[in-house]
A and B are shown apart, each in its own frame.
Chain A
Amino acid sequence: MTPRNAADNVRLKSTILRGVYNENLRINSPRPDPASGRKGREGRRTALVFSVLLVLAVTVLFVRFFPSMGPDASGEPAAVASATASPVSMAPAYTSASLPSANLSFPVPQASYVMRPYDSLPQDFNTDRLLDYSLILNNDMVRLSSVFGLDVQTIVIDPGHGGVDPGAIGVLGTKEKDIVLDLAHRLRDKLMESGRYNVVLTREGDSTMSLAERVEFANSGRTDLFISLHVNALPQKRANVIETYYYGPPSDAETLRIAEQENKGSGILTRDFANMIRKIGNTFKEQESASLAAAIQHSLFTNVKKYDKDTSDAGIKIAPFAVLLGVDAPSVLVEISCISKKQEELKLNLPAYREEITSFIAEGTSRYLARRNLQVVKGEENDQKVRGKRS
């Protein structure tokens, strides 16, 4: 529309076309996980360190262990060690490289798990299989939800505070409990739209509810996902801080205690099983909570950032919130906005803005749910397609 000569126009067009091409290349390349960056890289590094430690530990054990096996093995300790070490040495390669679909890395202390069983190994016990288990259970690269094709049916949304507890209060008198309650209702409507999920709220109205009651509520129903909504109040910060929490991996002391308990057992398979169950619970909740947190945080932050430059991404954080610890299902706590910022408080009072925030959270949640579903075996998807066409 601007009058310009032909040569100029051609040059302009080629710049633009290159831009389009580059942008699409970026879309094409495997998308960096929302949670990657500083946190992800650190996690991966830690995971790498752990797997190297694991290899060392196992090798040391074998060297120690095989001489006591008797005449049979004494001749070939080196060979056995190297043979067993080979699947083990795959672990670091597996952890550090490949698997672009892998999500978040947790420094799960693998060494302690693999080490224990060896002191009472039955002769014919296949150590390789044990390592296979550890690959599934302790490995952060394997999404248990996809391995077992788990589905989400019931989502519990927990609007924070309520009743006598107003939560954070803005300068203009806006109360956190009212904002999050409204958001929770909107979010429920959004998530219910698809008709695939049953969504319930911990509190429907402005009623007082203790943390313990919320946990009990979530655990008594068949909760598959738990999302707690809160509003930040950080008077010392000028920016609008958005962050999402989940309850993370147990501390070292905790792992130690579990290890101690397990050592009391005698039969290796029983112990293996008990261990497995426990690890499934932990790893599963961690993995799912973390990726849900990452998905929500990503949607929420990138979208809010569009409207308000002054938004800072506090990222996903691990914190010992009582609700997050107590609820059995994967659970996250979202600090959707910062009410201590006056502009933000004004905006939160607009239904349109609350609707937008809700749609961002819903988008994050659906992205998480979609990714889960996508990882279900392909054949099943095809079946559904065929069924859909036939009906």
Chain B
Amino acid sequence: MRSCIGIDGSRQDRATDSSIFYISLQPPFHRCSRTDKFRFLDLKVADAYTNMAVDEALAQARGEGKSPDTLRFYMWKPSAVTLGYFQSVEDEVNLDALKEYGIYLNRRISGGGAVLNSATGEITYSVVMDEKDPRISSDPVESYRYLCHGIVEALAILGIEADFKPINDIVVGGKKISGNAQIRRYGAVLHHGTLLVDYSAREMFSTLKISKEKLSDKMIQQAEERVTTIRRLLGREISFGDVRDAFEDGYRRALKADLVPGELTPYENRLVKKFRERYASREWIYRR
């Protein structure tokens, strides 16, 4: 028997039963990971620095062949504005409003736009896969389309017809309900995004500076008209538990994969600790 790391991160011996999925450390992980199973890290709440550190840790560990393909759900406490890698703090964020609402500020390693990750209004997710996985297109738009499809499926489960809108949005009736971003680093692709369940327009649009250029391009005068939420579309209350369940089923369908509950490995936890220091640093947040 060969010693392997199981999809839940535990060390196991390789079995002859092909229905049991194990991940071999030798040969490299990606050669034996193209199965239809993902490790599933279920909904947890953390602050912005930890959340971003976990995503990067997953990417590094996956790229090094030390961890499996992973789907992760998470939430934020306290709420946070995350900037895209190339965005400028002064152009995107009202710092006084962040202070007033007690909202953290952070910067992602992925590109894209600033997002208010509300502690009470959204579920965030990430998918981490081997960059060389044949399911991941080298064309960025196709890669987004594939990895965003779980959200379209999740919304369909909830009775909401949504569409992928290139480059990186999911829209319902032309209004954005989910924003997504990707980066390829360490030999892995990290895709993360949000799904709006509810939101405070006042909080969102007082913390984020919306470009007049961007608004005029969309021919919309009021920033509030650009976004929608699950609760608004359903016209009723829906629990985060129900949204989470739909989210899980949606990604199970989209990835055509079994989602195997797991936890971070000790190696990933060490990476989280290291990365968290960077994400919490002023140098990182205010780099642009």
Are A and B co-members of a single complex? no
Name B's A-contacting residues (CB within 8 A).
Answer: none
